[in-house]
A and B are shown apart, each in its own frame.
Chain A
Amino acid sequence: EPEVTQTPSHQVTQMGQEVILRCVPISNHLYFYWYRQILGQKVEFLVSFYNNEISEKSEIFDDQFSVERPDGSNFTLKIRSTKLEDSAMYFCASSEGQRGGLETQYFGPGTRLLVL
Chain B
Amino acid sequence: QKEVEQNSGPLSVPEGAIASLNCTYSDRGSQSFFWYRQYSGKSPELIMFIYSNGDKEDGRFTAQLNKASQYVSLLIRDSQPSDSATYLCAVSGGSYIPTFGRGTSLIVHP
Contact = CB atoms under 8 A, between A and B. Distances in A.
30 contacts: A41-B102, A42-B4, A42-B101, A42-B103, A43-B44, A43-B88, A43-B90, A44-B100, A45-B98, A48-B97, A91-B43, A91-B44, A99-B96, A101-B32, A101-B92, A101-B96, A101-B98, A102-B34, A102-B46, A102-B49, A102-B90, A102-B92, A102-B96, A103-B32, A103-B34, A107-B43, A107-B45, A109-B43, A110-B42, A110-B43
B42 A43 contact: no
Contacts, number: 51
Interface in B67-102: 88, 90, 92, 95-102
* Most chain A CB within a 10 A radius of its CB, from B34, B92, B96, B99: B96
Interface of A: 41-45, 48, 56, 58, 89, 91, 99-103, 107-110, 112
B36 to A, nearest CB: 8
Nearest to B6: A42
B interface bracket (residues with beta carbon within 8 Å of A)? 20 to 34
Interface of B: 4, 32, 34, 41-46, 49, 88, 90, 92, 95-103
A112 B49 CA distance: 27
B102 A42 contact: yes
Contacts of A103: 32, 34, 46, 49
